[in-house]
A and B are shown apart, each in its own frame.
Chain A
Protein backbone atom coordinates (compact mmCIF):
# COMPACT_ATOMS: atom_id res chain seq x y z
CA UNK A 1 0.00 0.00 0.00
CA UNK A 2 1.29 3.43 -0.83
CA UNK A 3 1.64 6.32 1.58
CA UNK A 4 0.10 8.74 -0.92
CA UNK A 5 -3.10 9.76 0.83
CA UNK A 6 -4.18 12.66 -1.39
CA UNK A 7 -7.92 12.51 -2.04
CA UNK A 8 -8.29 9.33 0.02
CA UNK A 9 -11.30 8.64 2.28
CA UNK A 10 -10.54 7.76 5.91
CA UNK A 11 -13.42 5.44 6.75
CA UNK A 12 -12.13 2.40 8.62
CA UNK A 13 -8.83 1.56 10.30
CA UNK A 14 -9.00 -1.69 8.33
CA UNK A 15 -8.35 0.30 5.14
CA UNK A 16 -4.85 1.15 6.41
CA UNK A 17 -1.67 -0.90 6.52
CA UNK A 18 0.66 -0.73 9.50
CA UNK A 19 3.10 1.20 7.31
CA UNK A 20 0.46 3.81 6.46
CA UNK A 21 -0.56 4.25 10.10
CA UNK A 22 3.09 4.63 11.14
CA UNK A 23 3.47 7.29 8.47
CA UNK A 24 0.50 9.24 9.92
CA UNK A 25 1.93 8.92 13.46
CA UNK A 26 5.36 10.18 12.37
CA UNK A 27 3.83 13.20 10.65
CA UNK A 28 1.58 13.85 13.67
CA UNK A 29 4.71 14.06 15.83
CA UNK A 30 5.97 16.88 13.60
CA UNK A 31 2.62 18.68 13.95
CA UNK A 32 2.80 18.93 17.76
CA UNK A 33 4.45 22.40 17.96
CA UNK A 34 1.87 23.79 15.50
CA UNK A 35 -0.96 22.11 17.42
CA UNK A 36 0.31 23.76 20.60
CA UNK A 37 0.44 27.17 18.90
CA UNK A 38 4.23 27.41 19.29
CA UNK A 39 4.76 27.46 15.53
CA UNK A 40 2.58 28.79 12.74
CA UNK A 41 1.54 27.10 9.53
CA UNK A 42 -0.29 28.15 6.37
CA UNK A 43 -0.21 24.67 4.87
CA UNK A 44 -3.97 24.56 4.23
CA UNK A 45 -4.59 28.27 3.69
CA UNK A 46 -7.59 28.82 1.44
CA UNK A 47 -8.90 25.30 2.02
CA UNK A 48 -12.28 24.58 3.64
CA UNK A 49 -13.22 21.62 5.82
CA UNK A 50 -16.91 20.65 6.05
CA UNK A 51 -17.76 19.33 9.51
CA UNK A 52 -21.01 17.40 9.36
CA UNK A 53 -22.11 16.15 12.78
CA UNK A 54 -25.41 14.30 13.10
CA UNK A 55 -24.54 13.37 16.68
CA UNK A 56 -23.20 15.49 19.49
CA UNK A 57 -19.44 15.65 19.84
CA UNK A 58 -17.11 17.85 21.82
CA UNK A 59 -13.57 16.59 21.39
CA UNK A 60 -13.77 15.18 17.89
CA UNK A 61 -15.45 18.21 16.33
CA UNK A 62 -13.41 20.81 18.18
CA UNK A 63 -10.11 19.04 17.58
CA UNK A 64 -10.84 18.79 13.83
CA UNK A 65 -11.72 22.49 13.79
CA UNK A 66 -8.62 23.34 15.79
CA UNK A 67 -6.46 21.19 13.49
CA UNK A 68 -7.84 22.88 10.35
CA UNK A 69 -7.49 26.39 11.84
CA UNK A 70 -3.92 25.74 13.04
CA UNK A 71 -3.00 24.82 9.47
CA UNK A 72 -4.49 28.06 8.12
CA UNK A 73 -7.72 26.52 6.76
CA UNK A 74 -11.35 27.26 7.56
CA UNK A 75 -14.35 25.15 8.63
CA UNK A 76 -18.04 25.19 7.87
CA UNK A 77 -20.80 22.79 8.75
CA UNK A 78 -23.28 21.88 11.45
CA UNK A 79 -23.15 20.12 14.77
CA UNK A 80 -26.88 19.86 15.19
CA UNK A 81 -28.92 18.34 12.34
CA UNK A 82 -32.15 19.88 13.69
CA UNK A 83 -31.21 23.24 12.20
CA UNK A 84 -30.33 21.93 8.74
CA UNK A 85 -32.23 20.35 5.84
CA UNK A 86 -31.67 17.02 7.54
CA UNK A 87 -34.59 17.96 9.78
CA UNK A 88 -36.72 18.22 6.62
CA UNK A 89 -35.93 14.60 5.75
CA UNK A 90 -33.07 15.10 3.30
CA UNK A 91 -31.09 11.92 2.61
CA UNK A 92 -27.48 11.74 3.72
CA UNK A 93 -26.51 11.24 0.07
CA UNK A 94 -28.05 14.61 -0.89
CA UNK A 95 -26.63 16.45 2.12
CA UNK A 96 -23.17 15.12 1.28
CA UNK A 97 -23.41 16.01 -2.42
CA UNK A 98 -24.33 19.56 -1.44
CA UNK A 99 -21.58 20.00 1.17
CA UNK A 100 -19.11 18.39 -1.21
CA UNK A 101 -19.55 21.35 -3.53
CA UNK A 102 -18.85 23.86 -0.73
CA UNK A 103 -15.60 22.49 0.71
CA UNK A 104 -12.37 20.56 0.08
CA UNK A 105 -12.80 17.70 2.58
CA UNK A 106 -15.66 16.43 4.75
CA UNK A 107 -15.61 15.17 8.33
CA UNK A 108 -18.74 13.15 9.11
CA UNK A 109 -20.21 11.81 12.32
CA UNK A 110 -23.48 9.93 11.90
CA UNK A 111 -25.84 7.77 13.91
CA UNK A 112 -25.93 4.94 11.36
CA UNK A 113 -23.20 2.40 10.72
CA UNK A 114 -21.73 2.58 7.24
CA UNK A 115 -22.67 6.26 6.82
CA UNK A 116 -19.11 7.37 6.10
CA UNK A 117 -18.62 4.69 3.44
CA UNK A 118 -21.86 5.84 1.82
CA UNK A 119 -20.75 9.48 2.00
CA UNK A 120 -17.49 8.44 0.34
CA UNK A 121 -19.48 7.09 -2.61
CA UNK A 122 -21.30 10.36 -3.14
CA UNK A 123 -18.54 12.86 -2.40
CA UNK A 124 -15.77 13.69 -4.85
CA UNK A 125 -13.75 15.21 -2.00
CA UNK A 126 -12.14 13.07 0.73
CA UNK A 127 -14.46 11.95 3.55
CA UNK A 128 -13.10 11.40 7.06
CA UNK A 129 -15.19 9.22 9.36
CA UNK A 130 -15.61 10.80 12.80
CA UNK A 131 -17.71 7.89 14.09
CA UNK A 132 -20.62 6.06 12.46
CA UNK A 133 -23.07 4.62 15.00
CA UNK A 134 -21.49 1.65 16.77
CA UNK A 135 -19.11 1.29 13.82
CA UNK A 136 -15.72 2.81 13.16
CA UNK A 137 -13.90 5.86 14.47
CA UNK A 138 -10.51 5.60 12.75
CA UNK A 139 -9.07 8.98 13.80
CA UNK A 140 -9.73 8.11 17.46
CA UNK A 141 -7.81 4.86 16.93
CA UNK A 142 -4.92 6.74 15.38
CA UNK A 143 -4.76 9.24 18.25
CA UNK A 144 -4.90 6.36 20.75
CA UNK A 145 -2.01 4.65 18.98
CA UNK A 146 -0.16 7.97 18.87
CA UNK A 147 -0.63 8.40 22.64
CA UNK A 148 0.66 4.90 23.44
CA UNK A 149 3.65 5.33 21.12
CA UNK A 150 4.46 8.74 22.56
CA UNK A 151 4.23 7.62 26.20
CA UNK A 152 5.73 4.14 25.80
CA UNK A 153 8.11 4.82 22.85
CA UNK A 154 6.64 1.83 21.01
CA UNK A 155 3.35 -0.05 20.73
CA UNK A 156 4.69 -3.56 20.17
CA UNK A 157 5.03 -5.75 23.26
CA UNK A 158 2.98 -3.55 25.58
CA UNK A 159 0.28 -5.25 27.62
CA UNK A 160 -2.89 -3.25 27.03
CA UNK A 161 -5.87 -3.90 29.31
CA UNK A 162 -9.13 -2.60 27.85
CA UNK A 163 -12.01 -2.28 30.30
CA UNK A 164 -15.63 -1.17 30.10
CA UNK A 165 -18.31 -1.57 27.46
CA UNK A 166 -16.46 -3.63 24.90
CA UNK A 167 -19.59 -4.69 23.07
CA UNK A 168 -21.03 -1.34 21.97
CA UNK A 169 -18.08 0.99 22.52
CA UNK A 170 -17.04 1.95 19.01
CA UNK A 171 -13.53 3.07 19.93
CA UNK A 172 -12.66 -0.34 21.34
CA UNK A 173 -13.30 -2.39 18.21
CA UNK A 174 -11.02 -0.54 15.84
CA UNK A 175 -8.43 0.10 18.56
CA UNK A 176 -8.10 -3.54 19.57
CA UNK A 177 -7.67 -4.69 15.97
CA UNK A 178 -5.06 -1.99 15.36
CA UNK A 179 -3.20 -2.86 18.59
CA UNK A 180 -3.09 -6.49 17.54
CA UNK A 181 -1.71 -5.43 14.15
CA UNK A 182 1.05 -3.54 15.99
CA UNK A 183 1.87 -6.56 18.16
CA UNK A 184 0.49 -5.45 21.54
CA UNK A 185 -0.73 -8.01 24.09
CA UNK A 186 -4.41 -7.57 24.89
CA UNK A 187 -6.68 -8.29 27.86
CA UNK A 188 -10.39 -7.54 27.63
CA UNK A 189 -12.15 -6.87 30.93
CA UNK A 190 -15.94 -6.51 30.90
CA UNK A 191 -19.08 -8.06 32.36
CA UNK A 192 -20.06 -11.07 30.20
CA UNK A 193 -22.97 -9.22 28.52
CA UNK A 194 -20.65 -6.40 27.40
CA UNK A 195 -17.61 -8.46 26.32
CA UNK A 196 -15.84 -7.96 23.01
CA UNK A 197 -17.94 -9.30 20.09
CA UNK A 198 -16.84 -12.64 18.63
CA UNK A 199 -16.15 -11.24 15.17
CA UNK A 200 -13.59 -8.79 16.57
CA UNK A 201 -12.02 -11.50 18.67
CA UNK A 202 -11.76 -13.68 15.56
CA UNK A 203 -10.12 -10.88 13.60
CA UNK A 204 -7.54 -10.46 16.39
CA UNK A 205 -6.91 -14.20 16.62
CA UNK A 206 -6.47 -14.32 12.85
CA UNK A 207 -3.46 -12.00 13.35
CA UNK A 208 -1.87 -14.68 15.54
CA UNK A 209 -2.81 -13.24 18.97
CA UNK A 210 -4.57 -14.86 21.87
CA UNK A 211 -6.14 -12.08 23.95
CA UNK A 212 -7.12 -12.76 27.55
CA UNK A 213 -10.77 -12.37 28.49
CA UNK A 214 -11.78 -11.56 32.07
CA UNK A 215 -14.64 -10.10 34.03
CA UNK A 216 -12.41 -8.68 36.78
CA UNK A 217 -9.61 -6.13 36.70
CA UNK A 218 -7.50 -7.37 39.65
CA UNK A 219 -4.90 -9.74 38.17
CA UNK A 220 -4.81 -8.14 34.71
CA UNK A 221 -3.90 -4.77 36.17
CA UNK A 222 -0.70 -5.98 37.88
CA UNK A 223 1.41 -6.34 34.76
CA UNK A 224 -0.48 -3.86 32.56
CA UNK A 225 1.49 -1.21 30.67
CA UNK A 226 -1.61 0.57 29.40
CA UNK A 227 -5.08 0.65 30.97
CA UNK A 228 -7.68 1.82 28.47
CA UNK A 229 -10.94 2.68 30.25
CA UNK A 230 -14.26 3.16 28.43
CA UNK A 231 -17.64 4.27 29.66
CA UNK A 232 -20.30 1.74 30.64
CA UNK A 233 -23.56 3.22 29.43
CA UNK A 234 -26.53 3.20 31.73
CA UNK A 235 -28.98 2.49 28.92
CA UNK A 236 -27.40 -0.92 28.28
CA UNK A 237 -28.83 -2.17 31.58
CA UNK A 238 -32.54 -2.84 32.11
CA UNK A 239 -32.04 -2.51 35.85
CA UNK A 240 -30.44 0.61 37.38
CA UNK A 241 -29.20 -1.31 40.43
CA UNK A 242 -27.41 -3.80 38.17
CA UNK A 243 -25.77 -0.91 36.28
CA UNK A 244 -24.54 0.71 39.47
CA UNK A 245 -23.11 -2.58 40.69
CA UNK A 246 -21.25 -3.27 37.42
CA UNK A 247 -20.06 0.33 36.93
CA UNK A 248 -18.74 0.38 40.53
CA UNK A 249 -16.69 -2.78 39.99
CA UNK A 250 -14.63 -1.17 37.24
CA UNK A 251 -14.18 2.25 38.79
CA UNK A 252 -10.49 3.19 38.80
CA UNK A 253 -9.49 4.79 42.09
CA UNK A 254 -6.34 5.10 44.21
CA UNK A 255 -6.64 1.77 46.10
CA UNK A 256 -6.99 -0.03 42.78
CA UNK A 257 -3.69 1.46 41.59
CA UNK A 258 -1.73 0.30 44.66
CA UNK A 259 0.09 -2.61 42.97
CA UNK A 260 0.32 -1.42 39.37
CA UNK A 261 3.55 -0.85 37.43
CA UNK A 262 5.01 2.58 38.15
CA UNK A 263 4.94 3.50 34.46
CA UNK A 264 1.37 2.30 33.80
CA UNK A 265 -0.55 4.83 31.71
CA UNK A 266 -4.31 5.25 31.96
CA UNK A 267 -6.25 6.32 28.88
CA UNK A 268 -9.91 7.13 28.27
CA UNK A 269 -11.57 8.40 25.07
CA UNK A 270 -13.72 10.73 27.27
CA UNK A 271 -16.27 11.84 28.30
CA UNK A 272 -15.96 9.93 31.57
CA UNK A 273 -18.87 9.55 33.93
CA UNK A 274 -17.31 8.32 37.14
CA UNK A 275 -15.19 5.51 35.61
CA UNK A 276 -12.02 7.20 36.88
CA UNK A 277 -11.94 8.92 40.27
CA UNK A 278 -10.83 12.60 40.04
CA UNK A 279 -7.88 12.01 42.39
CA UNK A 280 -6.34 9.73 39.74
CA UNK A 281 -6.00 12.82 37.49
CA UNK A 282 -3.13 14.04 39.64
CA UNK A 283 -1.08 10.83 39.34
CA UNK A 284 1.57 10.33 36.62
CA UNK A 285 -0.55 7.44 35.33
CA UNK A 286 -3.31 9.74 34.01
CA UNK A 287 -2.82 10.47 30.30
CA UNK A 288 -6.40 11.02 29.14
CA UNK A 289 -6.15 14.78 28.81
CA UNK A 290 -2.91 14.49 26.80
CA UNK A 291 -4.75 11.87 24.76
CA UNK A 292 -7.54 14.37 24.02
CA UNK A 293 -4.92 16.95 22.96
CA UNK A 294 -3.23 14.37 20.71
CA UNK A 295 -6.37 14.40 18.59
CA UNK A 296 -5.23 17.74 17.19
CA UNK A 297 -1.78 16.81 15.77
CA UNK A 298 -3.09 13.44 14.51
CA UNK A 299 -6.00 15.11 12.73
CA UNK A 300 -3.65 17.79 11.38
CA UNK A 301 -1.49 15.06 9.86
CA UNK A 302 -4.53 13.37 8.30
CA UNK A 303 -5.98 16.61 6.94
CA UNK A 304 -2.58 17.57 5.55
CA UNK A 305 -2.29 14.17 3.87
CA UNK A 306 -5.76 13.90 2.30
CA UNK A 307 -5.67 17.53 1.13
CA UNK A 308 -2.22 17.13 -0.38
CA UNK A 309 -0.39 19.54 1.96
CA UNK A 310 1.72 16.69 3.35
CA UNK A 311 3.22 13.65 1.69
Chain B
Protein backbone atom coordinates (compact mmCIF):
# COMPACT_ATOMS: atom_id res chain seq x y z
CA UNK B 1 0.00 0.00 0.00
CA UNK B 2 1.26 3.46 -0.88
CA UNK B 3 2.02 5.47 2.23
CA UNK B 4 1.11 9.14 2.26
CA UNK B 5 2.91 11.34 4.67
CA UNK B 6 -0.01 13.75 4.48
CA UNK B 7 -3.20 13.05 2.59
CA UNK B 8 -4.72 15.55 0.13
CA UNK B 9 -7.31 17.84 1.63
CA UNK B 10 -10.80 18.44 0.30
CA UNK B 11 -11.23 22.09 1.20
CA UNK B 12 -8.82 24.50 2.80
CA UNK B 13 -5.38 26.02 2.30
CA UNK B 14 -1.97 24.55 1.64
CA UNK B 15 0.89 26.88 2.46
CA UNK B 16 3.88 25.54 0.56
CA UNK B 17 7.52 26.69 0.28
CA UNK B 18 7.56 28.07 3.81
CA UNK B 19 11.10 29.04 4.80
CA UNK B 20 12.55 26.05 6.64
CA UNK B 21 11.96 26.30 10.39
CA UNK B 22 9.10 28.81 10.13
CA UNK B 23 6.14 26.36 10.13
CA UNK B 24 5.44 26.78 13.83
CA UNK B 25 5.48 30.57 13.43
CA UNK B 26 2.97 30.18 10.61
CA UNK B 27 0.73 28.15 12.92
CA UNK B 28 0.97 30.92 15.48
CA UNK B 29 0.05 33.51 12.85
CA UNK B 30 -3.03 31.65 11.70
CA UNK B 31 -4.02 31.08 15.30
CA UNK B 32 -4.48 27.32 15.25
CA UNK B 33 -3.68 27.09 18.94
CA UNK B 34 -6.84 28.94 19.92
CA UNK B 35 -9.26 27.85 17.26
CA UNK B 36 -8.96 24.31 15.99
CA UNK B 37 -12.09 22.87 14.44
CA UNK B 38 -10.48 20.86 11.65
CA UNK B 39 -7.27 19.08 10.80
CA UNK B 40 -3.99 20.97 10.53
CA UNK B 41 -0.99 19.13 9.12
CA UNK B 42 2.53 20.37 9.49
CA UNK B 43 5.51 19.11 7.53
CA UNK B 44 8.91 20.34 8.51
CA UNK B 45 12.22 19.93 6.77
CA UNK B 46 10.83 18.68 3.47
CA UNK B 47 13.22 18.40 0.48
CA UNK B 48 12.59 21.23 -1.98
CA UNK B 49 13.89 21.64 -5.52
CA UNK B 50 13.92 25.43 -5.19
CA UNK B 51 15.28 26.08 -1.75
CA UNK B 52 16.88 22.83 -0.59
CA UNK B 53 14.52 22.46 2.35
CA UNK B 54 11.10 23.85 3.14
CA UNK B 55 8.16 23.53 5.52
CA UNK B 56 4.52 22.97 4.54
CA UNK B 57 1.30 23.67 6.46
CA UNK B 58 -2.12 22.34 5.44
CA UNK B 59 -5.24 23.68 7.08
CA UNK B 60 -8.57 22.09 6.33
CA UNK B 61 -11.78 24.08 5.87
CA UNK B 62 -10.10 27.43 6.24
CA UNK B 63 -8.99 30.25 3.93
CA UNK B 64 -6.66 32.99 5.13
CA UNK B 65 -7.43 36.69 5.44
CA UNK B 66 -5.16 39.42 4.01
CA UNK B 67 -3.61 40.29 7.39
CA UNK B 68 -2.59 36.67 7.91
CA UNK B 69 -1.09 36.59 4.42
CA UNK B 70 0.92 39.75 5.19
CA UNK B 71 2.29 38.19 8.34
CA UNK B 72 3.28 34.99 6.50
CA UNK B 73 4.95 37.03 3.74
CA UNK B 74 7.10 38.81 6.32
CA UNK B 75 8.54 35.63 7.82
CA UNK B 76 8.50 33.57 4.65
CA UNK B 77 8.50 35.76 1.54
CA UNK B 78 8.57 32.82 -0.90
CA UNK B 79 5.62 30.92 0.58
CA UNK B 80 3.00 29.75 -1.90
CA UNK B 81 -0.68 29.77 -1.01
CA UNK B 82 -2.85 27.05 -2.59
CA UNK B 83 -6.55 27.40 -1.95
CA UNK B 84 -8.17 23.98 -2.29
CA UNK B 85 -11.83 23.56 -3.13
CA UNK B 86 -13.21 20.04 -3.63
CA UNK B 87 -9.71 18.53 -3.94
CA UNK B 88 -8.74 20.96 -6.73
CA UNK B 89 -6.38 23.90 -6.55
CA UNK B 90 -8.85 26.74 -7.03
CA UNK B 91 -6.24 29.51 -6.56
CA UNK B 92 -2.48 29.53 -6.30
CA UNK B 93 -0.26 32.52 -5.59
CA UNK B 94 2.98 33.55 -3.93
CA UNK B 95 2.54 35.75 -0.87
CA UNK B 96 3.50 39.37 -1.39
CA UNK B 97 5.53 41.45 1.03
CA UNK B 98 3.44 44.59 1.59
CA UNK B 99 4.93 48.12 1.42
CA UNK B 100 3.41 49.11 4.74
CA UNK B 101 2.88 46.78 7.69
CA UNK B 102 0.28 47.76 10.27
CA UNK B 103 -0.83 45.93 13.40
CA UNK B 104 1.06 42.77 12.46
CA UNK B 105 4.16 42.95 14.63
CA UNK B 106 5.52 44.95 17.51
CA UNK B 107 8.52 47.26 17.32
CA UNK B 108 11.80 45.61 18.27
CA UNK B 109 12.83 48.74 20.18
CA UNK B 110 11.72 48.33 23.82
CA UNK B 111 11.94 52.13 24.20
CA UNK B 112 9.43 52.74 21.39
CA UNK B 113 6.21 54.49 22.41
CA UNK B 114 4.17 51.79 20.61
CA UNK B 115 5.39 49.27 23.21
CA UNK B 116 3.67 51.32 25.93
CA UNK B 117 0.00 51.27 26.74
CA UNK B 118 -0.95 53.71 23.97
CA UNK B 119 -4.00 53.30 21.71
CA UNK B 120 -2.06 52.81 18.45
CA UNK B 121 -1.20 49.89 16.22
CA UNK B 122 2.51 49.57 15.48
CA UNK B 123 3.22 50.57 11.89
CA UNK B 124 6.25 49.96 9.68
CA UNK B 125 7.47 50.96 6.27
CA UNK B 126 9.21 48.17 4.35
CA UNK B 127 12.62 49.65 3.54
CA UNK B 128 13.99 46.58 1.79
CA UNK B 129 12.41 43.32 0.65
CA UNK B 130 15.67 41.34 0.44
CA UNK B 131 16.42 40.89 3.29
CA UNK B 132 13.14 42.16 4.69
CA UNK B 133 13.93 45.30 6.67
CA UNK B 134 11.23 47.33 8.37
CA UNK B 135 11.41 50.89 9.68
CA UNK B 136 9.13 51.80 12.58
CA UNK B 137 6.98 54.78 11.57
CA UNK B 138 7.13 56.05 15.15
CA UNK B 139 10.70 55.58 16.40
CA UNK B 140 12.52 55.05 13.06
CA UNK B 141 14.23 51.85 14.34
CA UNK B 142 15.21 49.47 11.56
CA UNK B 143 14.64 45.79 12.17
CA UNK B 144 15.25 42.54 10.35
CA UNK B 145 14.13 40.46 13.33
CA UNK B 146 10.65 39.85 12.03
CA UNK B 147 9.77 36.39 13.33
CA UNK B 148 10.60 37.35 16.93
CA UNK B 149 8.25 40.33 16.83
CA UNK B 150 5.23 38.99 14.94
CA UNK B 151 2.12 39.34 17.09
Contacts and interface: CB of A to CB of B under 8 A. Distances in A.
Q: Do A and B come from one complex?
A: yes
Interface of A: 12, 14, 91-93, 110, 112-115, 117-118, 121, 132-136, 199
Contacts of A93: 118-120
B111 A110 contact: no
A136 B140 contact: yes
Given A112-B113, A113-B111, A121-B120, 12 more contacts: A14-B140, A91-B116, A93-B118, A112-B111, A112-B139, A114-B107, A114-B112, A114-B138, A114-B140, A117-B137, A117-B139, A118-B114
Given A91-B119, A93-B118, A93-B119, A199 B113 contact: no
Is the contact region of chain B dominated by helix, strand, or loop, or is it mixed? loop
Contacts of B119: 91, 93
B139 A135 contact: yes
Given A133-B111, A134-B111, A112 B140 contact: no
Nearest to A92: B118
Given A92-B113, A133-B111, A113 B118 contact: no
Interface of B: 107, 109, 111-114, 116-120, 136-142
Contacts of A12: 140
B125 to A, nearest CB: 12
Nearest to B107: A114
Nearest to B142: A199
10 contacts: A14-B140, A91-B116, A92-B113, A112-B139, A113-B111, A113-B140, A114-B112, A114-B114, A114-B139, A115-B138
A132 B113 CA distance: 9
Contacts of B109: 113
